[in-house]
Structure 1
């Protein structure tokens, strides 16, 4: 009797390593170009930053070889390249400002984020364990959102009280809240999706769920969005709303939930615009950025648009533009900074990288065999999609500005660490999704040859 056993996926991990090397080389080369353009010499920190980013990525690659052999080989290189490009742009902006400490700080946060992703892979052997903590995740998410409201702990920065501070360090707990709430949404909906889609009264083309089925998840969503509105963080509240609707749609496969979500969003936007002055101000800036009455408030948006227009198709070249004129060019408006110096081609390249990242996350959701993993992977992938859409839409004036930051690119430790954790979770889920199914032995009584075949990894 012959037996065919799965072979260690060395080719898959070697492909990942080759892509990692390419990603680090591209980021390191861009860093070198900035130095050569600045003063004609290679920057002194080139080896530190290139080696630091490459070393951290290789460490995570080795963890994957050991703990998640079958994980998706594309997720890590794409995230590394986005992180590296963000370091380059932040370093370039450091050279044009009085502060030159943002790039070193971003590298430190990159190390923390990559190590956090490695810790997820090391500690979490099976993502299905998280399903046991569905309601614990809900409570944890609400507690994280409430932390900035505590006296002495919360900090107000740029008009939003969404930060907590310990000494000189500050962190945005809402970034971690989106992950644990995604766990709650996935864990709850995988149990109640049939009740949400098949039972309850029907109104026109929409079947409404029973209150006892939708109640807990609706309470959690309303509480999280309400807290964020009180904190004046409308960007994150929009992100949570989109995540809620997206996971609900994936769970029930009903387009009517998308339509209902859009209706609720429009109603909520109208209510917020009429109730909160800062929301009305952002809408006015969005509609009339060049009006003389908005000259001060719309300065950031207008300068970002001018910068991207100045970049044109191919850009001015790294370190040859003036993106530093735009306030918060290394965080809120880092996308316009890329557009000025790398042009429309550079902007599309960045969007393509995000598209690949999200596509691999959704492919993982399709491939994984358990319902909880499908909903969790889809929710995490949609969270990246929505965040990119909200940021790019605000910078390009498709929608009003919201204050979110580009995943992996923008300066800020909270967003960077949380998105690396998202990558770690997607890698863990993809490992189980791509792992060969148990061998099926064909018995001789059925007329087969008795050969055992293993399922090939997709």
Structure 2
């Protein structure tokens, strides 16, 4: 009986996520509030069903009560997130919140399958990050001076990145800053600070002098990351700055100039750094280096191929054959056990998040918040592209994680904060819209009163 259930679960998982994905896009296109609320509830039902089934399979496979306890704790956690936002922040984007919770559910299940202890740790960090993030929309509404702290953002960001150079070296790169028993990856948080800095600078002015100063400081961030061998983060910073510059100035010349400068820099990096050449070589022909440098990417491709359309089934694959699968190659591990259909839906959910963020950015009337929203949206979207593209050999590996899904405490907290900031700006825009409507109605009342007085 268990074998039949395990076999059917492959198709049920795919169907659930396909329907959830459809609901996400449907919810972002309709305007009827009652229909939208129905979609939100449908998404929550699908998410909790998927979460329950995943942990049920893990429990039946391992026959360990710890999985049942962890499931209940995560169920309460996800339920509380939805309930708090629904009651404390009713004007928040429920689609963004639901997508965040769905991606976390997928990550928790796959991580519990790979390493129970790491899943517990990731879950505890997610709880801590969510508690912090609950206050961010309120803070954005109360404090209106964030746009004035450009150089504070600059100093803090550069100081954190420089501190990484003194930190631990992991897989050939300086990524982690260790303080006692706590290890932090500062670049994950500096991404957000960097966006705030660029938005503050361009909010003041977009004249040539201001652009030169901002470019020099942005280049300093990228160079420090290159010196730390954190090439994935360096690439994200570069693309984010380029897109924010274009958004602020609307000048195609700057965009084209940035692309040319980026291409030249990539060629120089290829000549100067051996690890860059290695990554390019294994991207072009991983099979020649399958026994050493190319082992990780070839195992990733094997896993994706093994998954086929609906996967081999949860706990039925061999994702542990990919070194460090829970971090850079979580997408490959998921594809093997849940299938290509499931993984395509994950990409579509991430794309839906990007579309929602860009839509929120377009709604922001304040230039600073519009630039912040664009910067954070590009940060999120480009990180997803680098992760998925790297494990599929579409682009060279960059070593970045898939937000909410891959293992990594710093990545989890920074992603939760990023979504909270976007939601905070969405709430502010909703309040502005209501204020404008109220002003219009008040204006109409005053006009009517004047007409009566004239009569």
Q: Give the whole-Å Cα distance in 1 for the aligned partners of 2:68 and 2:38.
A: 24
Question: SS at the partner of 1:163?
Answer: strand
Partner residue of 2:50 out of 26, 30, 48: 26
Report what 1:363 is aligned to.
Answer: 359
Offset at residue 393 of structure 1 (A): 1.1
Report what 2:123 is aligned to.
Answer: 107
Report what 1:256 is aligned to.
Answer: 253
Q: Give the whole-Å Cα distance in 2 for the aligned partners of 1:253 and 1:236.
A: 25
Q: Give the whole-Å Cα distance in 2 for the aligned partners of 1:432 and 1:11.
A: 23
Q: How does 1:301-380 map to 2 (within 5 A)?
A: 301-380=297-376
Offset at residue 147 of structure 1 (A): 1.5
Report what 2:428 is aligned to.
Answer: 432
Q: How does 1:26-425 map to 2 (within 5 A)?
A: 26-36=50-60, 38=61, 44-65=65-86, 67-94=88-115, 100-126=116-142, 128-150=144-166, 154-193=167-206, 195=207, 210=208, 212-291=209-288, 293=289, 295-425=291-421
Offset at residue 63 of structure 1 (A): 4.2
Is the Cα–Cα contact under 8 Å of residues 64 and 121 in structure 1 kept in the other structure? no
Q: Give the whole-Å Cα distance in 1 for the aligned partners of 2:445 and 2:195.
A: 48
Q: Which has the higher helix share?
A: 2
Report what 1:200 is aligned to.
Answer: none
Q: Give the whole-Å Cα distance in 2 for the aligned partners of 1:349 and 1:418.
A: 23
Offset at residue 14 of structure 1 (A): 8.3
Offset at residue 20 of structure 1 (A): 3.9
Cα gap change, 1:103 to 1:16, in 2 (>3 Å): same
Q: Give the whole-Å Cα distance in 2 for the aligned partners of 1:445 and 1:429.
A: 31
Could you list the per-position Cα deviations for residues 320-358 of structure 1 after superposition, in whole angstroms to 9, with x for gaps in the alignment? 111110001111100100111111101111101101111
TM-score (norm 1): 0.85
Cα gap change, 1:181 to 1:135, in 2 (>3 Å): same
Is the Cα–Cα contact under 8 Å of residues 111 and 326 in structure 2 kept in the other structure? yes
Cα gap change, 1:216 to 1:128, in 2 (>3 Å): farther
Cα gap change, 1:15 to 1:117, in 2 (>3 Å): farther
TM-score (norm 2): 0.85
Work out the number of aligned pairs and report it. Answer: 415
Cα gap change, 1:260 to 1:34, in 2 (>3 Å): farther
Is the Cα–Cα contact under 8 Å of residues 57 and 314 in structure 2 kept in the other structure? yes
Is the Cα–Cα contact under 8 Å of residues 141 and 428 in structure 2 kept in the other structure? no
Report what 1:4 is aligned to.
Answer: none
Q: Give the whole-Å Cα distance in 2 for the aligned partners of 1:379 and 1:113.
A: 21
The CA RMSD measured in Å over matched residues stands at 2.4
Cα gap change, 1:175 to 1:13, in 2 (>3 Å): farther
Cα gap change, 1:128 to 1:358, in 2 (>3 Å): farther
Which consecutive residues of structure 1, in runs of 5 or more, have no partner in the other structure?
Answer: 1-8, 95-99, 196-209, 451-458
Report what 1:201 is aligned to.
Answer: none
